């Protein structure tokens, strides 16, 4: 039995026609996936959860599987930005798992940070990052005040994003709301110093994450599908954002609040 096969020993179950495997089982981090023997992987990440009860449930990405990708989902037991006792061991595992593969990833907020944290190990080539953090440590990102309680519990020596080791530079989109979450623009700017080929997309009044106003519309799923098909453009994302915004009460309320605050600052009439 190969070392890679031994790493998958914990449990397997048959889910439909896809073999779902618990590939990495740490106390703080887990990796679950389907069809990981394929040469291309679609990688998704856990995100910050207000009511977190250890690891979340897993559902395979049928869109990715139907497009010939394997799928892995990287989970954490805490809202810890994947910075814990398992971080270094997971990086080694992913380096072996992804040897000879090409991967793409979607990450929301903390999940976007995770994609960047493990980008080299995953051999990432394309990403869709939605309001990711460059860091939540005050020493690196003093403009980020929203996660100070979590940051105080983390090991800052593990908080280290890097450019890709070799080969093509990381491609993709980094989207953020510059109005409701201005710190997300600063995170994006810092991330682009490491990955300058990422295309920034400002989506005003989308919230955090930048597609928050699209929840429940089904459009987010179509965006993920377009990304997997490598057919998601900056223009298309902006267009969908505006179209949904015109019919979103959440978007309209954010826009109204912003305009009211601006009028109050400038003293201009409505």
166 is a domain residue: yes
228 is a domain residue: no
Q: Find the domain containing 144 and state its range.
A: 3-171+180-197
146 is a domain residue: yes
Interval 22-47: pLDDT, tens: 999 999 999 999 999 999 999 999 99
Least confident of 75-84, 121-130, 218-227, 255-264: 255-264
205 is a domain residue: no
248 is a domain residue: no
pLDDT value at 214 more than 60: yes
3-state secondary structure the chain: CCHHHHHCCCEEEEECCEEEEEEEECCCEEEEEECCCCCEEEEEECCCCCCCCCCCCCCCCHHHHHCCCEEEEEEECCCCCCCCCCHHHHHHHHHHHCCCCEEEEEEECHHHHHHHHCHHHHCEEEEEEECCCCCCCCCCCCCCCCCHHHHCCCCHHHCCCCCCCCCCCCEEEEEECCCCCHHHHHHHHHHHHHCCCEEEEECCCCCCCCCHHHCCCCHHHHHHHHHHCCCCCHHHHHHHHHHHHCCCHHHHHHHHHHHHHHHHHHCCCC
Q: What is the pLDDT of residue 232?
A: 97
Q: Give the number of domains in the chain.
A: 1
């Amino acid at each position: 039995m190969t070392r890679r096969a031994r790493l998958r020993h914990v449990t397997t179950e048959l889910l439909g026609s896809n073999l779902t495997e618990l590939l990495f089982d740490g106390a703080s981090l887990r990796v679950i996936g389907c069809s990981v023997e394929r040469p291309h992987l679609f990688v998704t990440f856990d995100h910050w959860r207000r009511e977190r009860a250890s690891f979340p449930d897993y559902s395979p990405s049928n869109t990715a599987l139907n497009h010939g990708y394997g799928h892995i989902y990287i989970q954490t037991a805490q809202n810890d930005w994947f910075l814990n006792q398992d971080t270094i061991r997971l990086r080694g595992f992913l380096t072996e798992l992804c040897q000879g593969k090409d991967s793409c990833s979607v990450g929301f907020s903390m999940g976007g940070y995770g994609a960047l944290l493990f980008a080299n190990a995953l051999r990432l080539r394309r990403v869709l990052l939605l309001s990711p953090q460059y860091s939540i440590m005050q020493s690196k990102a003093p403009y980020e005040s929203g996660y100070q309680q979590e940051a105080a519990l983390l090991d800052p020596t593990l908080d280290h994003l890097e450019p890709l080791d070799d080969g093509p530079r990381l491609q993709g989109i980094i989207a953020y709301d510059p109005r409701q979450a201005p710190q997300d623009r600063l995170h994006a700017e810092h991330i682009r110093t490491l990955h300058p080929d990422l295309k920034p997309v400002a989506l005003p009044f989308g919230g955090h994450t930048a597609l928050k106003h699209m929840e429940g519309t089904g459009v987010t799923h179509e965006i993920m599908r377009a990304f997997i098909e490598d057919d998601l453009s900056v223009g298309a994302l902006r267009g969908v954002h505006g179209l949904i915004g015109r019919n979103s009460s959440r978007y309209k309320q954010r826009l109204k609040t912003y305009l009211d605050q601006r009028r109050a600052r400038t003293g201009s009439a409505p």
